[in-house]
Structure formats: structure tokens, C-alpha cells
Copies of this chain bind each other. A is one copy, B any other.
Amino acid sequence: MDKEKGIVSRDKDFSEWYTQIVQKAELADLRYNVKGTIVFQPWAVLSMEKMFHYLEESLQKKGHMPYWFPTLIPEKNLKKESSHLGGFVPEVFWVTSHGKNEPIEEKLALRPTSETGFYHMFSYWIRSYKDLPFKTYQRANVFRYETKATRPFLRSREFHWIETHCAHESEEKAMLQVKEDMQTTKEVLHDIFGLPFIFFERPSWDKFPGALRTFAADVLNPDGKVVQQPSTHLLKQEFAKAFDVKFKDKEGNNKYTFLTCYGPAVSRIFASVIIVHGDDKGLKFPWEIAPIQVVIVPIDNNDEKIRKTAKSLKEQIEKFASVKIDSSEKRPGEKFNYWEMKGVPIRIDIGAKDLKNKKLTLFRRDLDKKIIVSQAKVLNEIKKIAKETTENLVKNADKLFNNKIKDAKSLSEIKKIINEGGIARIPFCSVEKQGEKCAGIIEKEINTQVRGTRFDEKQKVSGKCAVCGTKANYIVYVARAY
């Protein structure tokens, strides 16, 4: 452990690095006394609120309308679609009583996800093809009684997400929605949050409970494990039938809608922001989602001229960015380390010597570089760095990610790639029942999962399945999942 900065090296011990950064940057407190839950602290909430903003803005532009549904879902709603029920019931928290142990009218679930709430209402709201597509979303907290070990932001018994629910006229139109969801993920998670990912169609044995087709974006940790970020699903029509979500088409015939849903989990995406951009000094934030974008450090709190400059600079900056003056009693060196650890994109140091020369020292966290600029040009310089910060973070992350994907043609080659922290791309026999056996072998031998096929680009297939040696019909990606 590096005594000076107090964080273990990310590449030496990723898991411990993550634990330390969550604590030291005050992102979450794990001492709340309900198992599997955490308190989200201001430095995380400020960033996640901005993440919600960009996601919601993108969804609203595409015609999704915001709702707030009740947290409680009656057991009878969950029972309507059997595969969905089977998938979620083990994870449900049940509300069964109120007051002094008086029983409630019926068992109520804390929503693990809200299909069975939304579609119950869709049956009231949708009447005609003119109502379609019917595009909704809600910002919500959801609950899952996880039995796996929880980790802050990555897996908790309560988490914060957006869920979209849409109804469409045809399967074809529903698939356009799925593609739009992928586009939203690219525009927001990649271009603004700086997270590289691949959208996979999950194999048949790894679909969302109740889905006909499931697509999910995998993001890569530096330890080689992938984290599933937003997934989007084309649901089986059984769902529309179970909740009676139908419409009259142009000819006046009653038809069932095709339902899709998409679930970007902001608190989990925040974990990837920490992990993908962070380094041994601490956090790095893309400009748009930094809790604070600029921090001003007066080198001497008692110097009148420095204090005045700090104040006037703050007033000018806060017109276009969030900014704070750190006039605490810490030594300047301590402040430098602290704000680098916190991941603030730009730090401005104001010292007496610089001021004499009408200069200021800027530290940019994207490049970990100090630059000296004239006072007159500082605002323009900040605006320039603001633009470059996210670009640089995206570029770096993309490069790292792309270098991790390698081709393999056999179990031993897969094993080598995985052990080096990579994602293996392999020829594979099937994504249906027969493939499940080969996937099982990979799982058993290398503790690694078949994540699915690419959906965004068609891939040429030739040769034999890397596991069973029969004719390959797919290119699949194999990775160790968090």
C-alpha cells in the first residue's frame, strides 16, 4: 500500500483497490444495519444524479414519457407470467403486515423489476394502433434479495435504475426499439460516461425470465471480469397475453402488442465509471458527470490577494461549471492528493509567485499534467480541458478494451486469454440447447461464461466449435463474469 496516497495499486489488487476507493472517496458507507444495503454518499449521489439526467434526457428525446409507479407489486401480478415469476420469486422481499403485526390484504412484493406493474396498467391505457408505440420509463429503486456476496454499487439488495417499458404493433417494430435502446446505451454510457462495451445477444440459456431475446452490454474490469450493464429485452408474447395488453389494428382486429424493456442501472453503471477510469491515485470523472468539475486551491489561505483571486475566479467559473474553493486547514500537498483521489477534472492552484507573473497553475486529472496559463486565458483553457477530458477518458478506455479481445480456437487458447484478463472470441456450435453443453464445459474447466453473439456487426463464421469440434455456426465471446 502506498502510504502517501493511501490506495493500493489497482493492477496489483483490483478487489482491494475498489474497496479502498469506495471508502476513501466517500462514495458509500457499508455500515448501515440492513444486510446487503449501503448508504450512497454525496460524492456518488452528485455524479449519479447527473447520470440520471443524461439518460432521462436521451429517453425523453426519443419519445419515452416518465412515470412513477408504486414500489409494491401484488403477488397475483407476479404470478401471471410463469417464467418471469420463476426467475424472480427467489429474490423477492415480501411485505406481509403493517402496524402492530396486522396482516395486509394480500402479499405485496418490493418490486424486483416492474414489468408486472406496468403491463397491468398498459391494459387500461392502450386501445388502438394509434396509441402505439407506447413508450414509458421510470426512475426507481428496486429490490432483490441477493444471496451472492454484495459489493457496493455492483450488487446490492436495493439499487437505483431506470426501467423503460414499451408496447409495439409488431415484432419487427419491437426489434427497432431494442436497437434504439442499444443506441441510447452508446450515446450515453459510451460517449458521455466513457464506458466501452459490447452488446451481446445472450444465448438461449441465459435470457431474462420471460424474454424471447435478451441483449446485454458487457463492460470489462481491469481484472478481466465483465460486468453486465444495461440489458434490453424483447419479451415473449405470453407477457402481453397474461396482462391482456392488446390493441385494435387499422382493420379493427384485436391483436396482442409486442413488449420490450430496457434497464440501465445507474448505481451499477457508476461502479463501472469508478473502475474503468480510476487509477492508483483514485477516481477520474468524465467532465459531464463529475460531482464537482473544478476545485480551486489557495496555496496560502491567509494571503489577501490569493483569497480575492480565488473568489473572483469562482464567480466566473460557476457560470459554466461547478466549482469549489478548498480553504480547509490542510497542507497544499494534502489537498492535491485529496482532490486527485476524488477525481475532480481540473484543479487550479493559486500561489503568490504565480500571481506576481499573472499566471495560474492548472492540474488536469485526465492527463495528470500541470500546466501554467496566464490569468487572462484561464477560462478558455478550462473550457478546452472540459471538452478534452471526456474525449481522453473515452479514448483510453476504448484502447484498453479493444486490446483485450482475442481470438481462440481451443479450450487451452481460451484459458490462456482469460487468465491474461481478456475476452476470448471463438467459433461455436450453437446458441440453443446443443451449445449449452459446450458452454457448460467452458464453465466447468475455466470458470468462464459464454456471453453471447454480437448483434451490432455480422461476423463471418468458419471452422469448428472451439469446444466440441463440430461445425461452427456462431462466433461467441467468452469471458469471466463478475
CB within 8 Å for A92 and B96 given contacts A35-B105, A37-B72, A45-B68? no
Tell whether A93 is near chain B: CB-to-CB under 8 Å: yes
Partner pick for A40 among B37, B68, B104, B141, CB 8 A cutoff: B68
Query: Complex formed: what's the CA distance from A41 to B32 in Å?
Result: 33
Contact with B along A86-120 (1 / 0, CB 8 A): 00011111111111110011001010000001001
Name which residue of chain B comes closest to A138, CB basis: B45
Query: Number of copies of this chain in the oligomer?
Result: 2
Nearest B residue to A329 by beta-carbon distance? B130
A29 sits at the interface (CB 8 A): yes
Q: Are B95 and A94 in contact (CB under 8 A)?
A: yes
Q: How large is the interface on A (under 10, 10 to 19, 20 to 34, 35 or more residues)?
A: 35 or more
Task: Pick the residue among B66, B77, B110 that contacts A33 (CB under 8 A).
Answer: B77
Interface membership of A440, Cβ < 8 A: no
Q: How far is the CB of A248 from chain B (nearest CB, A)?
A: 17
Q: How far is the CA of A304 from the CA of B97 in the complex (A)?
A: 62
Q: How far is the CA of A105 from the CA of B93 in the complex (A)?
A: 12
Q: Which of A362-403 contact B (CB under 8 A)?
A: none
Which chain B residues lie closer than 8 Å to A287 at the CB level? none
Residue A70 lies at the interface, judged by CB distance under 8 Å to chain B: yes
Point out the residues of chain B lying under 8 angstroms from A334, CB to CB: none
Proximity bits, A29-46, B CB within 8 Å = 1, else 0:
101111101111110011
> Is A482 in the interface zone, CB < 8 Å from B?
no
Closest residue on chain B to residue A77 by CB atoms? B33
Q: Which residues of the other chain, B, contact A33 by a CB distance below 8 angstroms? A: 74, 76-77, 120
A29/B121 contact (C-beta < 8 A), A34-B70, A35-B105, A158-B72 known: yes
In the complex the two chains form, is B96's CB within 8 Å of A97's CB?
yes
Query: A71, B32: Cβ atoms under 8 Å?
Result: no
In the complex the two chains form, is B99's CB within 8 Å of A39's CB?
no
A69 within 8 A of B: yes
Tell yes or no: A313 within 8 A of B by CB. Answer: no
Residue of B nearest to A33 (CB): B74
Task: Decide: A66 and B93 in contact? CB cutoff 8 A.
Answer: no
Is A186 an interface position by the 8 A CB rule? no
Chain A positions 79 through 91: 1 when the CB is less than 8 Å from some CB of chain B, otherwise 0: 0000000000111
The answer to the question of A67 belonging to the interface, with a C-beta cut-off of 8 Å to chain B, is: yes
Is A445 interfacial (CB-CB < 8 Å)?
Answer: no
CA distance A66 to B49 in the complex (A): 10
Query: A90-B99, A100-B89 given as contacts; is B120 within 8 A of A70 (CB)?
Result: no
Q: How far is the CA of A45 from the CA of B60 in the complex (A)?
A: 12
Contacts of A89 in B (CB 8 A): 99-100
Query: Does A143 interact with chain B (Cβ within 8 Å)?
Result: yes
B94–A124 contact, CB under 8 A? Answer: no
Answer yes or no: A160 CB below 8 A from chain B CBs.
yes
Q: Does A455 contact B (CB under 8 A)?
A: no
**Chain B residues positioned under 8 Å from A40 (CB to CB):** 67-69
- Choose one: B66, B76, B91, B99; the contact of A46 (CB below 8 Å): B66
A31, A33, A70, A76 interface centre (most CB from chain B within 10 Å): A70
Docked complex Cα distance between A201 and B52 (Å): 38
Contact yes or no, B160 A68, CB < 8 A = yes
CB pair B32–A121 under 8 Å, yes or no, is yes
Assembled-state Cα–Cα distance A71/B158 (Å): 8
Bound CA span A16–B33, Å: 46
The 4 closest A-B pairs by CB, nearest first: A37-B70, A40-B68, A42-B65, A98-B145
A-B residue pairs in contact (CB < 8 Å), sample of 27: A29-B125, A31-B121, A32-B69, A32-B70, A32-B117, A32-B120, A33-B74, A33-B76, A34-B70, A34-B72, A34-B74, A34-B108, A39-B67, A39-B69, A41-B67, A42-B65, A68-B141, A70-B158, A71-B158, A89-B99, A91-B98, A94-B98, A95-B96, A95-B110, A96-B96, A98-B145, A141-B141
Q: Which A residues form the contact surface with B (CB < 8 A)?
A: 29, 31-35, 37-42, 45-46, 48-49, 65-74, 76-77, 89-101, 104-105, 108, 110, 117, 120-121, 124-125, 141, 143, 145, 158, 160
